[in-house]
Every structure is written in C-alpha cells, then in structure tokens.
C-alpha cells in the first residue's frame, strides 16, 4: 500500500527533476548548437533551434584566432595558480582560527569575515586605487593576489576543521608533533572534499571574472577570456555564430571540471569529521 502511494510522488519528482534539467541545460545546448549556424541564423525570427546546415566553420575559425587561444591559455594558467594559492592561504587561515588560541582572536575573526558581507562593487574603486598605487596594473599579479583571501572559504574550511576530533590533535601533540606537522599530516589529508568545493569555487571565480580584468588589464597579451568575449561584438561586429562558438569553448573547461569532481562536490558540502 505504501509502495502504491509512493508511485505518484516518484513520478512528480522525476518530472520536476527533468524540467529543472531542461531549463538549466537549454541555454548551454542552444549556445553550442548556435556555433554551427551561419551569421544570419542565430537571431533568426521566428526562433529556430537547429541550423539549416551544420557547419564547423565558426569553431575552426575561433580556434585559429591567436587572440582567442592566447586568452584561453593565460586565463587557464592564471586560474590554476589562483586556485592553488587560494587553497593554501584560506586553509592555513581556517586552521588558525578553528584550532589555535592567540591574542585578539575574536577581533581578527570579525575583521577577516566582514568582507563576506560587503558587495564587491562597493570596494571596486578603492581596490583599483590600491593596485594602481602599488604599480600592479597590467600584470598577472593584479588578477591573482587581491582575491586570494576569501571570507566565505575561510568560514567553510573552518567549520570543517572544527568537526575533526580534538583527541586526534592532542595525541599528535603528545607525540611531539608541531602545529605545522599536525596541519599537514592530519588536517590536509582529511580535507579532500572541502578542498574540491573551495578549489572549484576559486577556479570559477577567476575564470568568469569580467569587471575586474577590464579595469586592470590593458595589455593584449594578458587579456582574459571573458574580456575577449566581452569585446567580441565591438571588434568583430555581428558574427553571432562565431561568438557562440567561442563562448561554448570557453565554457568547456568549467563544465568538464564540474563533471569530473561532482561526486566530491556533493560529499564536500556535507561537512563532517573524520571517519
């Protein structure tokens, strides 16, 4: 009887999941397929999802554009460096606040967590003035260093570290391990799930950045991929098929990243202690 009553519930859940999946994937599918369309087909009225004739010209043209390849490469390298450094900085800070006692700890925690509640646009101008005074404009450092410390990531990792049993840490201290050894040999090996979540968040934040690179980067050799796509229409006119092809290729690294680590993302969100 219970099984019979649960059938409608399962059907409704499946239908809702399908609708959500379609709504989420439709823009990506349309973008990818539009890359196979001609110049006049993308914005054709009435709307047409599939092209009259499938053609690879847009994809081959964009892949043979040195500016596009350079933007993809420099953005990918910058995102990797940013992700690694972000994990290092925020994990160390999270461990210090979660497991160490030091003077004015509460005050410093408030100071570090406060930026999480401040919109980025509110400090955009002051941040630009600071990096200008430091002579960081038109360098890869200006894209990486200002965003390394993240209040949200410190809080997320800190909550995970608080759930690791204190007895394990005390036993290591009794055995003569230093705080650094405890962090490296006990805490880091347990942080795979949270690190994947934080790392992917850092990678996506860097990869999708648009406003900040426009403000601080003028050197064509350092143009980021979102900068390139953002200036595409002014540089290339109304070649929408080419733009859709470039946007699809720019989305591929992040989509592949999420697909590879989706299992770790789900497990990482469920912050728990050691098994």
Which position has the higher pLDDT, 191 or 131? 131
| In the chain, % of residues over pLDDT 90 | 34
Distant-in-sequence, close-in-space partners of 102: CB < 8 Å, separation ≥ 6: 96
Alpha carbons 141 and 89: distance in angstroms, whole number: 15
Average pLDDT estimate for 3-8? 64
Domains plus CATH for the chain?
Answer: 62-269 (1.10.3720.10)
Question: pLDDT tens digits for 153-205?
Answer: 999 898 888 888 888 888 888 888 888 988 988 898 888 888 988 999 999 99
Average pLDDT estimate for 238-256? 89
Question: pLDDT tens digits for 218-242?
Answer: 998 999 999 999 888 777 767 888 8
pLDDT of residue 272: 45
pLDDT of residue 274: 43
DSSP classification of residue 185: I
Q: Using an 8 Å Cβ cutoff, are 244 and 35 in contact?
A: yes
Question: pLDDT tens digits for 44-76?
Answer: 778 788 888 888 888 998 999 999 999 999 999
């Amino acid at each position: 009887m219970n099984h019979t009553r649960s059938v409608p519930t399962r059907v409704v859940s499946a239908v809702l999941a399908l609708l959500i999946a379609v709504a989420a994937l439709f823009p990506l599918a349309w973008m990818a397929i539009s890359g196979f369309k001609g110049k006049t087909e993308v914005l054709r009225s009435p709307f047409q999802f599939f092209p009259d004739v499938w053609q690879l010209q847009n994809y081959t043209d964009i892949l043979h554009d040195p500016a596009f390849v350079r933007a993809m490469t420099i953005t990918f390298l910058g995102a990797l460096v940013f992700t690694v450094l972000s994990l290092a900085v925020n994990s160390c800070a999270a461990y210090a606040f979660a497991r160490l006692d030091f003077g004015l700890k509460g005050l410093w925690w408030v100071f570090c967590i406060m930026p999480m509640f401040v919109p980025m646009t509110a400090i955009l101008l002051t941040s630009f003035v600071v990096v200008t005074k430091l002579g960081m404009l038109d360098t890869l450092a200006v894209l990486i260093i200002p965003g390394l410390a993240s209040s949200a990531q410190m809080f997320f990792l800190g909550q995970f570290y608080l759930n690791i049993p204190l007895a394990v840490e005390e036993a290591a201290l009794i055995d003569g391990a230093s705080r650094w050894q405890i962090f490296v040999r006990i805490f880091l090996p347990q942080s795979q799930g949270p690190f994947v979540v934080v790392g992917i968040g850092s990678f996506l934040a860097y990869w999708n950045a648009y406003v900040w690179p426009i403000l601080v980067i003028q050197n064509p050799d350092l143009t980021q991929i979102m900068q390139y796509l953002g200036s595409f229409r002014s540089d290339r006119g109304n070649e929408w098929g080419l733009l859709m092809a470039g946007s699809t290729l720019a989305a591929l690294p992040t989509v592949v990243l999420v697909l590879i680590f989706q299992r770790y993302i789900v497990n990482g969100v469920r912050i728990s202690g050691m098994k």
